[in-house]
Chain A
C-alpha cells in the first residue's frame, strides 16, 4: 500500500482526460469519427491517381479558357440522334415533323412518363399539373394549368414541342430528356388531363412487377 500514498488527487482527472484523448484519436484512425476538412485529401503516394488526361468537366490545363468540354462548331449534330431543330415560334413545322409518337402507350410507358414528369416538370407544374409546384411556392411565375380545357385540346406534337423548345419563361428540356423520354412525358400529361385528381391510385397500379420486364 506504499504506492497508494504516492497517488495525488489530480491523477484521476488527468487519467480520464488522457484516456478520452487517446480514445478520440483511436476512433478517428478507425474511421469512426469523421474529421471534416476543406483541404484536399492527403495523398502520401500519388501512384497514377492523376494522369495527364482530363476527366469529364475537369478544368483543362491545355486550353486558355480552361474548358475541357469544347464548344462544338456551328451546325454540329450529336452522334446518337437529332438535336431539336425548332425554336419556340416554329410550332407549325414542329407539328408537321413530330406529328406522331414513335411508340404506343403502355403501362410501362406511363410509369416511366410519370417518373420523368415528377423529376423535370413537377417542381413548377406540380404533381397534379395544376401549376403549383414547390418552386412556384417559392416565388416563381406560376405556369398555366396543364389540365385546363385549352391544353387538353393541344395536339400531342404541340406538347412535345413545348417540352423540347420551351415556352415563354420555361426553358427547353431537349438537353435533359431524350426524344423517347419526352414522348413518355406527353403520354403521362395526357393521362393527367384525363384523370384529374384520381391519377395517383391509377398509376400506382400500373407499375410493373420485376418479373414482367425481365
Chain B
C-alpha cells in the first residue's frame, strides 16, 4: 500500500510499541507483587541492634524480649528497660547505645523502624499462631542469623492462604531458640490436629479442637491444623 520503506517503518514501529507494552505489562504484573516490592525491606534502625549476636550467639530466646506475643495479637517491641536490664552493666558506655540510654533516662520513646507491616484491614493474631506451636521463623525467616532484620516473606494474601490450606508444607515447628512452649518434644515433623468444617457446605471455615487450659491464666498449646479460609477470619 505504501512505499516499501514506509511500510517497513510502520511495521517496525508497531513491533516496537507492542514489545514495549508487553514488557511493561510483564514488569507490572510480576514486579508489583509483594515478593518483589516488600521482600528484602531492610531499614536501618536508629540503634544497630543485632539479632545475630543476641539470639544467634548468646542464645537469648525470641520471647525474652518479645514477651507478650503469646497473649496478644501484636508482637511487642521490647521496652528500653529490657535492653537496660543487661546494658546497665554490659557495654554501659558504648556510643552505639546512646539512644537507648537517652530513652531510658528521659522516657522519650525510641522510634524503631517497623519492618513487617500488614495492611490495616487485615487482623493477624500472633497469639493464636504461637499457641499452635508455629515457629517465628515460619514467617520472619532465620532472624537469629540476621545482623539487620529484613523481610523474608511477601506477607501477601496468597501467601497466607497457601499456609492455611497446606500447613504441613509451610510450617516450621516451634524451635528451641524461639522459646515457644509446646508441651511436646520439638520434632521436625509437623503433626497436625484433625480439623473439620464448621459450615455446610464447607465454605473454607475449618476448626481444630482447642484444648482446655491446664494452668489457670496460661493457655495450653494446641496442635496446628488447617487455618480458616473464610474472609471474616482475617478481614473483620
Q: Is B15 an interface residue (CB 8 A)?
A: no
Residue on A nearest B178 in the bound complex, by CB: A119
Interface string of A102-130 (1 = CB under 8 A from B): 11000011011001101110010000000
Residue on B nearest A212 in the bound complex, by CB: B183
Q: Is B105 an interface residue (CB 8 A)?
A: no
Complex Cα distance A30/B228, Å?
28
Q: Is B163 an interface residue (CB 8 A)?
A: no
Complex Cα distance A144/B102, Å?
30
How many A residues touch the partner, as a band?
A: 35 or more
Stretch at the interface among A43-51, A83-91, A194-202: A43-51
A112 close to B181 (CB less than 8 A): yes
Q: Among residues 10 to 62 in chain B, which have CB atoms less than 8 Å away from a CB atom of chain A?
A: 26-27, 30-44, 58-61
B50 CB, min distance to chain A CBs, angstroms: 13
Residues of A within 8 A of B76 (CB): 56-57
Residues of B within 8 A of A58 (CB): 114
B183 close to A213 (CB less than 8 A): yes
Residues of A within 8 A of B193 (CB): 214
A184 close to B90 (CB less than 8 A): no
A63 CB, min distance to chain B CBs, angstroms: 11
B217 close to A179 (CB less than 8 A): yes
Report which residue of A67, A178, A214 has the largest number of chain B beta carbons within 10 angstroms of its beta carbon: A214
Residue on A nearest B214 in the bound complex, by CB: A108
Q: Is A210 an interface residue (CB 8 A)?
A: yes
A31 close to B44 (CB less than 8 A): no
Q: Is A18 an interface residue (CB 8 A)?
A: no
Complex Cα distance A38/B64, Å?
27
A36 close to B36 (CB less than 8 A): no
B30 close to A112 (CB less than 8 A): no
Q: Is A209 an interface residue (CB 8 A)?
A: yes
Contact status of A41 and B37, CB under 8 A, knowing A56-B74, A115-B181: yes
A43 close to B179 (CB less than 8 A): no
Chain A interface main SS type:
loop
B39 close to A140 (CB less than 8 A): no
Residue on A nearest B31 in the bound complex, by CB: A29
B36 close to A180 (CB less than 8 A): no
Residues of B within 8 A of A207 (CB): 183-185
Stretch at the interface among A6-14, A92-100, A131-139, A149-157: A131-139
Residues of B within 8 A of A178 (CB): 71, 217-218
A213 close to B40 (CB less than 8 A): no
Q: Is A34 an interface residue (CB 8 A)?
A: yes
A31 close to B39 (CB less than 8 A): yes
Stretch at the interface among B1-9, B80-88, B164-172: B80-88
A36 close to B109 (CB less than 8 A): no
Complex Cα distance A209/B184, Å?
6
Q: Is B236 an interface residue (CB 8 A)?
A: no
B139 CB, min distance to chain A CBs, angstroms: 15
A213 close to B120 (CB less than 8 A): no
B23 CB, min distance to chain A CBs, angstroms: 10
Q: Among residues 101 to 149 in chain B, which have CB atoms less than 8 Å away from a CB atom of chain A?
A: 108-109, 111, 114, 119-121
A48 close to B120 (CB less than 8 A): yes
Complex Cα distance A81/B67, Å?
17
Other than the given A134-B59, A207-B183, 9 more pairs (CB < 8 A) read A29-B36, A31-B35, A34-B150, A44-B32, A55-B74, A109-B215, A119-B64, A135-B60, A184-B218
